Amino acid sequence: MTAPTTTAPDRKQPAGDAPGTGDPFDRDILPTPPGATLALLRSLLAPMKARVAVTTLLLLLQQAAVQAGPLLVAYAIDSAVPAFRRADHGPLIAVGAGYLLCALASGGLQYAFILASARVNQDVLLDLRGRIFRHAQALSIDFHERYTSGRLISRSTTDVESLRELLDEGLQELVTVVLSFVYISALLLWLDLGLGAVAVASFVPLYLLVRLYQRRAVEVYRKRSTAIAAVIVKFVETMNGIRPVRAFRREAVNDADFGALNARHERTNGDALLEMARYVVGSRLVANTAVALIVLWGAHRVADGSLELGVLAAAVLYLRRLYDPIDRLGMFLNSYQSAAASLEKIAGLLAQKPTVPEPATPRPLPPLASEHPGREVVFDGVRFAYRTGGEVLPRFDLTLPAGQTVAVVGSTGAGKSTLAKLLARFYDPSEGRVLLDGVDLRDLDVPELRRGVVMVTQEAFLFSGTIAENIAIGRPDASREDVERAAKAIGAHEFISGLPDGYDTDVRKRGGRISAGQRQLVAFARALLADPAVLILDEATSSLDIPGERAVQRAMATVLNGRTAVVIAHRLSTVEIADRVLVMEHGRIVEDGTPAELVAGTGRFADLHRAWRDSLA
């Protein structure tokens, strides 16, 4: 939030009050194509047109029933009273029956309306939640690397929530307000053209007031939402980093920082509440003045006989109702304001195109050539650069024969991980093709691709659920025996058996503390179970101790024997089992050969190997 401003090259971006770099990712303002927000709303509502219509009809009828009351009062005073005096009980019975009917209808219709609208709302939300979720999952890894997890989470939680509020309360409010305005104005005009006209004329100042409020509220609400976002970021950061916070005694400094952010939110929050107060005073003033004027004029006309007393009574009853919902209009504007902002952010997210799309007409992998499960990998004229520029891998060709274990070494930033991500199709090459047994990875559908290539990364994330479930992510239809066999092969069985509930231990519950090294073992077991033709290990042993690493290597030599494997590691111990070593530097493969050849040579690998040997001595 206090990021120093740098030159933002793209001046078209709306000026946010959070200064930052020009990158829309950094500033959490993905470009939303014009009209995308409305298009999103339309596409959400389109499939339930019929039900929206029914719901609206229910509300129309309900309002009709509710608004019939004063009409019956007028009829009772002007017609039923004289009729009753003539001993004609018909009109009075009609009034009673009519009122009873209206009461039952307004209650029953209200019941039906709430149910029907809840169904529509919940289906819209279900649809939207699903869309965000599926879209976020479909977006490529490079998107996830730039869009922080916190933002993605808030898109699918708080932003959906604000739409929910609008749908749940806001829209019904708005429809009720508009409907009762229309109904009551029509009734008033029908009762008496003059009185009705005055009432309708009072809408002009009310409209101006609403516009004024809306303009000011946008500003205030935007500031408030920025302020609360800052509070949330600070809060989450502190809680997620509680260990360093404690160890470095940041509590007092944090209290002060958080206090300042909290106070800013308090101030803008107060501003927003005061803005609402001003609106309420203004709208009430207009409404009450209009009532006084109409009564004044109506009373004069009753006095000179040009208006029936009953009509004036009904008009006055309606007038009170006419202005009742103005406060609620203000509240609707609030929820509309925040929902619109949220929808815009969601639309911006949904407008992002996956850079690694699934093929329209997938091709299958050819049958395996031999009894070995490995497949041949070919990088054919591949070049990779970020879309923002910056070449990571200059054009290169590389063939990894089926069944070969290839180690890739090199310093940080040499392009090892990019190579692995291209092979796992987390990225697509900017130029050229990556072929698996002659088939372009872009032509494989997801299940086929993952039977072909699986990658184990350094960050071994565990999902909520049991250890067994976490391993079974590799192959959901695996039996318990399969899971245990995979765990045993990788040397994870021992620690898992020692957990309170063994394989059924919930990783997030009591007693389920699992160290970084143990998490990596679980990740391996997962990959082993997936049984892919090509296995990529990207720094996958960094937290393992040497015996753990040995167990993994043994497993690779036995269980994974015959598979094609690409191993990226800082540790040279992993390299010993490789058939071939690639040394990378600045995106290029500078050395390529068997470990023995390279060690015997005079290149970078020989240096590295010597340094590593020394460290073991």
Partner 1 sequence: MATTPVQTKDRSAVRTLLRLWPYVRPVRARLFGAAFVAVLASCVGLVIPLVLKWVVDGPVAHRDPAGVWLGALYLLLLGLGEALLFGLRRWLVARPLAGVEAAMRGALYRRLQRLPVSFHDRWASGQLLSRGTTDLMLLRMFLAFPLTFLLVNSVTIVVGVIIMLAQDWTLGLVILGPAVPVMVTCVVFEKRYAAVARRAQDQVGDLTTLVEESVLGVRIIKGFGRHRSQARAFRELARTLRGTELRKASLLSTIWGVIVTLPEIAIGAALVLGTVQVADGELSAGTLVAFLSTALALRWPVESIGFLLAMSQEAATATERYFEVMDEEVEDPGVSGGRPSTDQRGIRFDAVSFRYPDAPAGSSPVLDRIDLHIRPGESMALVGATGSGKTTLTALVPRLHELTSGRITLDGQDISAMSRDRLRSLVAVAFEEPTLFSASVGENVLMGAPDTAGGPELERALAVAQADFAYALPQGTDTQVGEQGLSLSGGQRQRLALARAVVGRPRFLVLDDPLSALDVHTEAAVEAALRDVLAETTALIVAHRPSTVLLADRVALLSGGRITAVGTHHELLRTNAEYAHLMAGTEITEAGEDIEEADAR
Which positions from 478 through 507 interact with partner 1, judged by CB under 8 A?
A: 495, 500
Alpha helices in 139-202 (DSSP H): 141-146, 149-154, 160-165, 171-191, 193-201
Closest among 433, 383, 304 to 588, alpha carbons compared: 383
Q: Which is nearer to partner 1, 235 or 396 (CB)?
A: 235
Contact between 258 and partner 1 per CB under 8 A: yes
Q: Which is nearer to partner 1, 265 or 580 (CB)?
A: 265
Contact between 610 and partner 1 per CB under 8 A: no
Q: Which is nearer to partner 1, 395 or 588 (CB)?
A: 588
Q: How far is the CB of 343 from partner 1 (least distance, A)?
A: 18
Residues 518-537 as x/- pattern, contact with partner 1 by CB under 8 A:
x--x-x--x---x-------
Contact between 562 and partner 1 per CB under 8 A: no
Size of the site for partner 1 (CB under 8 A): 179
Q: How far is the CB of 563 from partner 1 (least distance, A)?
A: 16
Alpha helices in 498-603 (DSSP H): 516-530, 546-558, 595-600
**How far is residue 474's CA from residue 247's CA, in Å, rounded to a whole number?**
38
Q: Which of 29, 61, 138, 218 binds partner 1 (CB under 8 A)?
A: 138
Q: Which of 197, 285, 557, 600 binds partner 1 (CB under 8 A)?
A: 285
Task: Identify residues 172-211 at the interface with partner 1 (CB under 8 A).
Answer: none
Q: Which is nearer to partner 1, 480 or 509 (CB)?
A: 509
Question: How far does the chain reach from its first CA to its final CA, in angstroms?
Answer: 50
Rounded to 5 degrees, φ, ψ at 371 are -75, -10
Residue type, 433: R
**How far is residue 282's CA from residue 95's CA, in Å, rounded to a whole number?**
38
Q: How far is the CB of 174 from partner 1 (least distance, A)?
A: 17
From the list 3-11, 361-369, 370-378, 595-603, the region that binds partner 1 by CB under 8 A is 3-11
From the list 188-196, 265-273, 369-377, 581-589, the region that binds partner 1 by CB under 8 A is 265-273
Task: Please tell me whether residue 72 adopts helix, strand or coil conformation.
Answer: helix
Q: Which is nearer to partner 1, 402 or 552 (CB)?
A: 552
Task: Identify residues 569-608 at the interface with partner 1 (CB under 8 A).
Answer: 570-573, 608
**How far is residue 19's CA from residue 2's CA, in Å, rounded to a whole number?**
7
Q: Which is nearer to partner 1, 25 or 203 (CB)?
A: 25
Task: Identify residues 214-233 at the interface with partner 1 (CB under 8 A).
Answer: 228, 231-233
Q: Which is nearer to partner 1, 255 or 397 (CB)?
A: 255
Task: Identify residues 100-129 at the interface with partner 1 (CB under 8 A).
Answer: 100, 102-104, 106-108, 110-115, 118-119, 122-123, 125-126, 129
Rounded to 5 degrees, φ, ψ at 436 are -115, 115
Contact between 552 and partner 1 per CB under 8 A: no
Residue type, 228: I
Contact between 515 and partner 1 per CB under 8 A: yes
**How far is residue 532's CA from residue 565's CA, in Å, rounded to a whole number?**
10
Q: Which of 516, 557, 594, 600 binds partner 1 (CB under 8 A)?
A: 516
Task: Identify residues 150-179 at the interface with partner 1 (CB under 8 A).
Answer: 150, 152-153, 156-157, 161
Q: How far is the CB of 572 from partner 1 (least distance, A)?
A: 7
Look at phi and psi of residue 383 and say left if phi exceeds 0, alpha if psi is from -120 to 50, else beta.
beta
Query: DSSP assignment of 354-390, as one string?
Result: PSSPPPSS--PPPPPSSSS----EEEEEEEEE-TTS-
Look at phi and psi of residue 476 and say left if phi exceeds 0, alpha if psi is from -120 to 50, else beta.
alpha
Contacts of 348 (CB under 8 A, 6+ apart): 29, 30, 31, 32, 36
Q: How many CB atoms lie within 10 A of CB 3?
A: 11
Q: Which of 22, 39, 84, 362 binds partner 1 (CB under 8 A)?
A: 84
Q: How far is the CB of 34 from partner 1 (least distance, A)?
A: 28
Alpha helices in 28-89 (DSSP H): 36-45, 49-75, 81-85
Q: How far is the CB of 115 from partner 1 (least distance, A)?
A: 5
Beta strands 405-409 and 580-585: pairing type? parallel
| Furthest C-alpha separation in the chain | 124
Q: How many CB atoms lie within 10 A of CB 362?
A: 15
Q: Which two tokens stand for residue 455?
A: 């990658």
Contact between 546 and partner 1 per CB under 8 A: yes
From the list 33-41, 210-218, 338-346, 445-453, the region that binds partner 1 by CB under 8 A is 445-453
From the list 212-220, 299-307, 372-380, 479-487, the region that binds partner 1 by CB under 8 A is 299-307
Task: Please tell me whether residue 398 adopts helix, strand or coil conformation.
Answer: strand
Q: How far is the CB of 397 from partner 1 (least distance, A)?
A: 25
Q: How far is the CB of 133 from partner 1 (least distance, A)?
A: 5
Q: Which of 190, 207, 386, 463 binds partner 1 (CB under 8 A)?
A: 463
From the list 32-40, 75-83, 189-197, 577-585, the region that binds partner 1 by CB under 8 A is 75-83
Contact between 544 and partner 1 per CB under 8 A: yes
Q: Which two tokens stand for residue 331?
A: 């509240």
Contact between 267 and partner 1 per CB under 8 A: yes
Q: How far is the CB of 300 from partner 1 (least distance, A)?
A: 6
Q: Which of 51, 216, 222, 321 binds partner 1 (CB under 8 A)?
A: 321
Contact between 260 and partner 1 per CB under 8 A: no
Give all strands of the β-sheet with 431-436 in edge-to-edge order: 391-400, 377-385, 431-436, 439-440
Rounded to 5 degrees, φ, ψ at 246 are -70, -50
Contact between 9 and partner 1 per CB under 8 A: no
Residue labelled with tokens 């494989």: 444
Q: How many CB atoms lie within 10 A of CB 392?
A: 20
From the list 39-47, 366-374, 400-408, 446-454, the region that binds partner 1 by CB under 8 A is 446-454
Beta strands 564-568 and 580-585: pairing type? unpaired
Contacts of 56 (CB under 8 A, 6+ apart): 175
Residue type, 445: D
Task: Identify residues 339-398 at the interface with partner 1 (CB under 8 A).
Answer: none
